[in-house]
């Protein structure tokens, strides 16, 4: 099975260990609100909302918070109007970085993200500068402690998955075509496979390995970007040598 970018593994661990629970909830609420606004309040007919709710539950978000976020998206409750933006840039060692953000003030967010890049050995780039280096896929996480590898492999292949990556310490990582993600999720659930989370994500075609000081600087930049309130996801081709 194919390898897995180590920055992704670090992100998973960071998400589990992050003490700033309110910040995690804030980002999840934004995604739920926007998903409900764009696709309606029914998760069965709105895959993006279904995914957002699943990720919120995986992070132990209370049901009331989820319901209120949906109502803000549909206008039943007052709320902030968010805009989706994508940003691209380069980090230490020339690594490529892509950012998905939800913001109520585009100019402020872009300025703040640019400042983070400039202060940490990187630079914000024009649209399209690095996007071609990434493939958009569906990704599903299943905890290794919850299912044996053979059962998962059989269920994933039967459901239409493209690959099952086994080299992460705690998760099996199932790769799908982006348009097949929900079909594979449904197939795994019907097979009784417990899913930790799933998402549409971007993976680098060719990882760039860094070590020593450059790797440390790259990690710092990625973590600062990931911690920004408006940033929902950070993608990179950085891998630790």
CB 182, CB 47: distance < 8 Å? yes
Q: What is the DSSP letter of 18?
A: -
Residue 51, sorted as left (phi over 0), alpha (psi -120 to 50) or beta, turns out to be: alpha
- One-letter-per-residue 3-state SS of 98-118: EEEEEECCHHHHHHHHHHHHH
Cα distance between residue 72 and residue 78, in whole Å:
6
CB 70, CB 41: distance < 8 Å? yes
**pLDDT band with cut points at 50, 70 and 90 for residue 16:** low
For CATH 3.30.70.980, the residue range(s) in the chain are: 85-132+206-240, 133-204
For CATH 1.10.10.200, the residue range(s) in the chain are: 6-74
- Choice among 16-30, 118-132, 213-227 with the minimum mean pLDDT: 16-30
The predicted pLDDT at position 80 comes to 85
The answer regarding whether domain 85-132+206-240 maps to CATH 3.30.70.980 reads yes
Architecture category of domain 133-204 in CATH: 2-Layer Sandwich (3.30)
First CA to last CA distance, the chain: 20
pTM, full prediction? 0.85
The predicted pLDDT at position 58 comes to 84
CB 135, CB 203: distance < 8 Å? yes
Residue 160, sorted as left (phi over 0), alpha (psi -120 to 50) or beta, turns out to be: left
38: pLDDT strictly greater than 90? yes
Cα distance between residue 24 and residue 238, in whole Å:
23
The predicted pLDDT at position 240 comes to 80
Residue 121 burial by CB count (10 A; 0-12/13-18/19+): exposed, middle or buried?
A: middle
Largest CA distance in the chain: 52
The domain 6-74 is placed in CATH, from the list 3.40.50.2000, 1.20.1090.10, 1.10.15.40, 1.10.10.200, at 1.10.10.200
CB 61, CB 25: distance < 8 Å? yes
Question: H helices of 121-190, where?
Answer: 149-159, 181-190
The predicted pLDDT at position 23 comes to 83
Give the pLDDT confidence of 55-85 residue by residue, as tens digits: 899 888 999 999 999 999 999 999 889 999 9
The predicted pLDDT at position 6 comes to 65
Give the pLDDT confidence of 161-216 residue by residue, as tens digits: 999 998 888 899 999 999 999 999 999 999 999 998 888 999 998 899 999 999 99
């Amino acid at each position: 099975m194919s390898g897995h970018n180590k920055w992704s593994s670090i992100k998973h661990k960071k998400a589990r260990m992050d003490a700033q629970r309110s910040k995690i909830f804030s980002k999840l609420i934004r995604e739920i609100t926007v998903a409900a606004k764009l696709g309606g309040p029914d998760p069965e007919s709105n895959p993006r909302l279904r995914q957002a709710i699943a990720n919120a539950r995986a992070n132990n978000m209370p049901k009331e918070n989820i319901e209120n976020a949906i109502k803000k998206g549909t206008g039943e409750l007052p709320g902030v109007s968010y805009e989706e933006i994508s940003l691209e840039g380069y980090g230490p060692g020339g690594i490529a970085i892509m950012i998905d953000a939800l913001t109520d003030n585009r100019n402020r967010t872009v300025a703040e993200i640019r400042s983070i890049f400039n202060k940490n050995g990187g630079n914000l780039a024009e649209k399209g500068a690095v996007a071609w280096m990434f493939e958009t896929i569906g990704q599903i996480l299943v905890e290794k402690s919850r299912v044996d590898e053979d059962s998962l492999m059989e269920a994933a292949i039967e459901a239409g998955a493209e690959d099952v990556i086994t080299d992460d310490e705690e998760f099996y990582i199932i790769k799908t075509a982006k348009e097949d993600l929900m079909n594979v999720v449904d197939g795994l659930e019907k097979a009784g496979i417990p899913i930790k989370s799933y998402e549409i994500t971007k993976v680098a075609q060719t990882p760039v390995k860094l070590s020593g000081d450059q790797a440390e600087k790259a990690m710092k930049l990625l973590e600062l970007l990931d911690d920004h309130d408006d940033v929902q996801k950070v993608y990179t081709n950085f891998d630790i040598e």
